[in-house]
Every structure is written in structure tokens, then in C-alpha cells.
Structure 1
């Protein structure tokens, strides 16, 4: 009888109790114990913003390149190849090492996508934006041909 009462009490304690939250925000007993220590003060350090690394590789500079591409994409000139070239040049990339495709098709329609590139340390930082692309794309690819990043027709960067 004592066993039955004890089982009833234990069962009563667990009945109707929530099983706890699910997913990554669930707190486990070990987590709760670790965060209860008042001598531990959590600190959050933000990563520094990407910056040009003149001595770095193309891969080293990809985060900075991508941040510039995303900033232009978020602005009013998102469909202008010149806006990307100018922003990259203002960010420290060499305009003479850049290529950009046309903003318009041969019949005057807005381009479905615009590509632009910077030749950097023997590799290519390449960006692509436009309605056909969706979100901006930034990547590092090998040089093609004789120190070229984009194949096909590109427009002169003469401004």
C-alpha cells in the first residue's frame, strides 16, 4: 500500500506537467546551472566589419567585396553597373582591374543581370545582381584567358 501511495504521488507530480520547450532555445539542467553563477557575466563581442586587406588574397577580401555589393543592392541604384564600380573603387579596389557588363540589352531593355569583377592577386572577385539573380551573388573564381575575369562583351569603364 505504501508503494501504491508513493507511485501515486510521483505520478501526480508528473501528470499535466509540460514536457518543456522544444528546439534550440530549450534550457537543459546543465545550461541552467551554468548560467546561474553570478560571477560569470556573459559578454557579446561583435565581429569587426569587413575591411579591405591589400596584402590578402581574393578569398580574404570576399567579405568586404560582398558587403559593398550588398550596400549598393540595398540602395536606389541597384540596377546600375556604374554604381557597383564606383562603390568598389571608393572602397579601395582598383578601377583599372574591374570589368562590368551592360545595364541594358541590345534593344534597350533593362538587363536581367549585371556582372562585375575585380582582378585581385591572380583571381577574380565576381559579383552578379539583377532580377534574374534574386539576392546578390559574390564569389571568387579563377582568371580566364589572359588576366580576364568576365567572358563576352563588357562595357568600357571610362568615367
Structure 2
């Protein structure tokens, strides 16, 4: 046998032996078996959100959640919405009419106003609500230097 053939034969003879030795060194780890038992987990119980309340002696901030609650209820009721409807709804829910202002429903040229702004004064703070082409929004602010909540001419509430 020639030298290259002999080297090839020796190499081929040692490959199965090396594979056998290496196979013994690496034993596969047992695969975990899936569990068949299922544990029921209780869904967390949601904490109910309390219905907001009117705080007549509070500030505008103290009453904004209730103000929004009653205004959104009116909007969702499907009645025709105008300044008087918002004022009457607020009065029916405990707000004081004498502390309210509302902008006109119609512009100076007789066109329906795009938005109506209405307010309730609480001491030196005001709650302002706006309804119209922008949807509904509200904010709290300080009373203006005029002593009122709304800039411009407001109609009697």
C-alpha cells in the first residue's frame, strides 16, 4: 500500500472510533414534559369608579368631574343641545343658576354658533364647558378681572 493510501485508511478507521467516543460525551438532556394540570387564576376584580358628586362649597377643580359627568349625560341623551339645555341640566343637578353664564346660541348675524360656552363660578375659580363642532371639553380657570368667567357678552343663564 502506498503511503497516501495508508494515511487515508488510518484516518477512515479512526473516524468511527472518534465519533463513538464523542457521542458518549454528549448525552442529550431529557426534554421536559408539558404539564397536563391547569391552574385557574382569578381575574382581578375591577374597582368600581364612584359617581362624581357636587361639592357646592368647593372650587371649580373640586367639581369638574361632576360637571363633566352631568354634561356628558346630557350630550348622550340625544336631546337638542343649546345653551339653555346645558344651563337647565346643570341647575337640575344642583349647580346655582345665579353663578352661571352662557354664550349666545346664535351669532350677531343670525347664524347658529359653532360652539356654546357655559360656566359656573365657584368663589374665585370658574368651570368652563364648551360644546359644538369640536365636541365637548371643559377646564377650570381663575375668575377674570371683570369678576366673570366668560369674556365678552354672555346672555342671562
Q: In the TM superposition, what are the counterparts of 1:9-158 in structure 2 within 5 Å?
A: 36=41, 42-131=44-133, 133=134, 135-157=135-157
Q: Which runs of 4+ in 1 moved over 6 A?
A: none
User: Which consecutive unaligned segments of at least 5 residues does structure 2 have?
Assistant: 1-22, 33-38
Query: How many equivalent pairs are there?
Result: 130
- Taking a change above 3 Å as real, the CA distance of residues 6 and 150 of structure 1, as seen in their structure-2 partners, is same
Q: TM-score, normalised by structure 1?
A: 0.70
Q: Does 1:6 align with 2:28?
A: yes
SS at match of 2:130: strand
User: Which consecutive unaligned segments of at least 5 residues does structure 1 have?
Assistant: 14-32
Q: TM-score, normalised by structure 2?
A: 0.71
- Taking a change above 3 Å as real, the CA distance of residues 75 and 107 of structure 1, as seen in their structure-2 partners, is farther
1:94-138 per-residue CA deviation (whole Å, 9 max, x = no partner) reads 10010000111122221100000000121000000101x2x3111
RMSD over aligned CA atoms reads 2.7
Q: Cα distance, 1:4 vs. partner?
A: 5.8
- Taking a change above 3 Å as real, the CA distance of residues 122 and 3 of structure 1, as seen in their structure-2 partners, is farther
- Taking a change above 3 Å as real, the CA distance of residues 41 and 66 of structure 1, as seen in their structure-2 partners, is closer
- Taking a change above 3 Å as real, the CA distance of residues 3 and 105 of structure 1, as seen in their structure-2 partners, is farther
